[in-house]
Amino acid sequence: MDTGMVKKLIEIIGKEAEIYETLLRLSREKTDVVVKGKVTELENITKVEQSMILQLARLEESRENIVEKLSEELGMDAESITVTQLEKVLPKDQSKELAEYQEKMTGIFRDLKNSNELNARLIKNSLDYIDFSINVLSNIGSAGDIYGKSGQSNDPGKRNFFDVKL
């Protein structure tokens, strides 16, 4: 087996782990930014995340190419090969390193999922509050029907704060 290719695979997985750790840190920062309502900072974090996702895509493509070559060498299906299967056929030191990255990535993915779910709930709550506020402001002064039977306004002296409901 080509141990150089395995080293390259482990190196790529290590780089992916670093990027996911950074994404997790950014996601946690995003929570604070959303709570404080700092829209500009949220935009900046999102831009950084997008560039990191592009880096991940490139690394993932390289990782898939290496896994495909390794699977051919091992006589396995590239689509169904797993880290656990690779660990069984790799030398002990590489197997151990790969297992450590697998455990690390599993933890990062779990934490990232939880952080993203929290951020999604916070953003939804903020949007619900904004929608509620707009509805309250747009209904100021309308105590009942706006128009009478003739089609004319019941109270021409009162008008809505906004002329369009968003």
| pLDDT for res 66 | 92
pLDDT for position 21: 97
Q: What is the separation of C-alpha 96 from the centre of its chain, rounded to a whole number of angstroms?
A: 29
pLDDT in tens, 11-38: 999 999 999 999 999 999 999 999 998 9
Are 126 and 34 in contact by the 8 Å Cβ rule? The answer is yes
Residue-wise pLDDT for 41-59, tens only, equals: 999 999 999 999 999 999 9
| Confidence at residue 161, expressed as pLDDT on a 0 to 100 scale | 52
Domains in the chain: boundaries: 3-138
| Range with the poorest average pLDDT among 80-89, 112-121, 142-151 | 142-151
The pLDDT of residue 151 is above 70: no
Q: How high does pLDDT run on average in the chain?
A: 85
Q: What is the CA 25 to chain-centroid distance, rounded?
A: 12
Integer Cα distance of 154 and 146 in angstroms: 6
What pLDDT is recorded for position 158?
A: 52
Share of the chain above pLDDT 70, in %: 83
Res 3: pLDDT: 79
* Position 150 pLDDT exceeds 70: no
Residue 67 neighbours by CB distance under 10 Å: 20
CATH number of 3-138: 1.20.58
Could you tell me the pLDDT band of residue 107, with boundaries at 50, 70 and 90? Answer: very high
**Predicted local distance difference test score (pLDDT) of residue 60:** 95
The residue type of 54 is L
- For the cut 60, the answer to whether the pLDDT of residue 77 exceeds it is yes
User: Residue 153: what pLDDT?
Assistant: 58
Q: What is the pLDDT of residue 164?
A: 52
pLDDT for 10 equals: 92
pLDDT at 74 over 80: yes
Query: What is the enclosing helix (H) or strand (E) of 33?
Result: helix 3-36
